[in-house]
């Protein structure tokens, strides 16, 4: 069994780091990600090489609907091991720039509410991040913010056979951002692409290190 490491949750939390600006959130109803996880009409998708791994990137942006971005890749470990790596949030404070502290307000096998203290210029603000889990298959998350808007995501984990006869896990992470005010969509997509792909790279590098 793999032990927690500094990079284990970075591929998930990388997408959050780009949007930690200011404001607050109050807990609400269950997180609805049905439309986020499905193919998006008029989406653009292509394959990329991230290290030695193939990653599928997809995106869509419109001023009315917001920004959609997602990645799909296969980690060389069974689903339970990949779930343990990607659902441990203890390293968020050390991996995300500006994060000063991480506190669990609610913590159970199926739901977590996490307060995150973030340094923004000369002050520290507290954001609340909600996570819903269906171990080891589905993870949903949400951040809502008066200045930012709403940010949601869903990760789906599926075991797949490997060419060497082993079992790997296909991970599909899909995110949606609806800004609270008009922002350059091209810039938002660029930041999301950079942070998501960097997070995936770190996560897969951790998996490769475990295999050596």
Does position 149 have pLDDT exceeding 90, yes or no? no
Between 19 and 199, the more confident residue is 199
147 phi, psi to nearest 5 deg: -85, -35
Q: Which two tokens stand for residue 23?
A: 């404001």
Q: What is the pLDDT of residue 96?
A: 61
Q: How is residue 3 annotated by DSSP?
A: P
The rounded mean pLDDT for the chain is 80
Angle between helices 79-86 and 185-211 (to 10 degrees): 120
Q: List beta partners, residue 99.
A: 118
Does position 52 have pLDDT exceeding 60, yes or no? yes
pLDDT tens-digit readout, 15-49: 444 444 323 334 446 899 999 999 999 999 999 99
Q: What is the pLDDT of residue 15?
A: 45
Q: How confident is the model at residue 94 (pLDDT cuts 50, 70, 90)?
A: low
Residue 170 placed within a domain: yes
Transcribe 17-67 into DSSP letters.
HTT--S------S----HHHHSPPTT-EEEEEEETTEEEEEEEEEETTTEE
Residue 141 placed within a domain: yes
Residue 152 placed within a domain: yes
Residue 33 placed within a domain: no
Q: What is the pLDDT of residue 95?
A: 54
Residue 202 placed within a domain: yes
Residue closest to 39 by CA, chosen among 72, 10, 2, 12: 72
Which whole number is the average pLDDT over 56-76?
94
Residue closest to 55 by CA, chosen among 208, 207, 204: 204
Q: Indicate which CATH number applies to the domain containing 105.
A: 3.30.530.20
Residue 5 placed within a domain: no
Q: What is the pLDDT of residue 61?
A: 93
Report the number of distinct structural domains present in the chain: 1
Which whole number is the average pLDDT over 187-196?
88
Q: How confident is the model at residue 8 (pLDDT cuts 50, 70, 90)?
A: very low
pLDDT-above-90 percentage for the chain: 36
Residue 35 placed within a domain: no
Q: What is the pLDDT of residue 134?
A: 94
Which whole number is the average pLDDT over 43-66?
93
Domain range enclosing 123: 10-28+41-211
Residue 176 placed within a domain: yes
- Entry pTM: 0.82
């Amino acid at each position: 069994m793999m032990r927690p490491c500094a990079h284990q949750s970075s591929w998930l939390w990388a997408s959050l780091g780009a949007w930690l600006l200011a404001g607050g959130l109050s807990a609400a109803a269950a997180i609805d990600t049905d439309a986020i996880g499905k193919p998006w009409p008029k989406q653009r998708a292509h394959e990329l090489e991230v290290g030695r791994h193939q990653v599928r990137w997809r995106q869509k942006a419109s001023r009315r609907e917001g920004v959609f971005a997602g990645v799909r890749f296969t980690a060389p470990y069974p689903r339970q091991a990949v779930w343990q790596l990607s659902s441990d949030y203890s390293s968020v404070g050390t991996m995300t720039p500006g994060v000063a502290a991480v506190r669990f307000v609610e913590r159970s096998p199926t739901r977590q509410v996490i307060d995150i203290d973030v340094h923004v210029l000369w002050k520290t603000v507290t954001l609340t991040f909600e996570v819903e889990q269906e171990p080891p298959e589905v993870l949903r998350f949400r951040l809502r913010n008066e200045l930012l808007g709403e940010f949601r995501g869903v990760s789906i984990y599926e075991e797949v056979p490997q060419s060497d006869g082993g079992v790997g896990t296909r991970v599909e992470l899909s995110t949606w951002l609806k800004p609270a005010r008009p922002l350059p969509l091209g810039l938002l997509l660029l930041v999301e692409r950079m942070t998501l792909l960097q997070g995936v790279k770190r996560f897969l590098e951790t998996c490769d290190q475990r295999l050596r």
